[in-house]
């Protein structure tokens, strides 16, 4: 199985890419403002980690949530296992075949079982903190119940992370 590399200052980790090579090579990058909740792994994007929450235990797995952003929006990003240790605020990360969906009543961006994450840089990336797509209330589209549309804003500020100054 091919692997994806995560380069860190003190450690180099390889995580298995859970996606066949033919899918990884034909992806199209999207801005965070353009992602919508879905049950499929279709999000390919690049963002900077702004803040990282404490680790918590979910069954046998360690998880943590980070506030991430690009030049168009921010969102909460869930990391699992070694990803929590591998990534820090200031890291620029590329997500391939990620998923933006509900996990325990929270709307989160994550790699999921078929996606992969890779550190591609540090510190130098334009970003905005608002809108935070995880703080938007989404509803089923009346014209197409398989799709979601923005219904309202839960909070203009992050409920998990305090605003950066």
Q: What is the CATH number of the domain that holds 29?
A: 2.40.50.140
What pLDDT sits at residue 29? 87
CA atoms lying within 13 Å on the CB side of residue 130? 10
Would you call 22 helix, strand, or coil by DSSP? helix
Residue 144 belongs to some domain of the structure: yes
For 20, residues 6+ apart whose C-beta sits below 8 A from its C-beta are none
What pLDDT sits at residue 50? 94
Domain residue limits at 16: 3-153
Residue 109 belongs to some domain of the structure: yes
Q: How far is it, in rounded angstroms, from Cα 99 to Cα 128?
A: 21
Residue 158 belongs to some domain of the structure: no
CA nearest neighbour of 134 among 104, 164, 158:
158
Looking at the structure of the chain, the number of domains it has is 1
Residue 163 is classified by DSSP as P
Residue 87 belongs to some domain of the structure: yes
Residue 162 belongs to some domain of the structure: no
Could you tell me the mean pLDDT of each successive run of 10 residues in the chain, 165 residues long? 37 41 59 80 89 86 91 91 90 92 77 88 88 77 74 54 47
Residue 20 belongs to some domain of the structure: yes
Residue 48 belongs to some domain of the structure: yes
Element (H, E) at 86: helix 83-86
Residue 59 belongs to some domain of the structure: yes
pTM above 0.85, yes or no: no
- What are the φ and ψ backbone dihedral angles of 124, each rounded to 5 degrees? -100, 85
Residue 135 is classified by DSSP as G
């Amino acid at each position: 199985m091919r692997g994806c590399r995560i380069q860190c200052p003190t450690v180099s980790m390889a995580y298995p890419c859970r996606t066949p090579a033919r899918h990884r090579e034909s992806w199209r990058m999207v801005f965070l403002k353009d992602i919508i909740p879905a049950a499929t792994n279709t999000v390919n994007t690049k963002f900077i980690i702004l803040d990282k929450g404490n680790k918590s235990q979910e069954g046998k797995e360690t998880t943590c949530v980070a506030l991430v952003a690009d030049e168009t929006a921010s969102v909460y990003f869930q990391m699992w296992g070694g990803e929590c240790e591998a990534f820090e605020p200031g890291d620029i990360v590329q997500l391939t075949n990620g998923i933006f969906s509900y996990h325990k009543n929270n709307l989160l961006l994550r790699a999921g079982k078929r996606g992969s994450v890779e550190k591609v840089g540090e510190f130098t990336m334009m970003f905005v903190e608002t809108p935070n797509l995880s703080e938007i209330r989404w509803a089923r589209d009346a014209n197409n119940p398989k799709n979601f549309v923005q219904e309202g804003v839960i909070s203009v500020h992050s409920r998990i992370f305090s605003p950066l100054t």
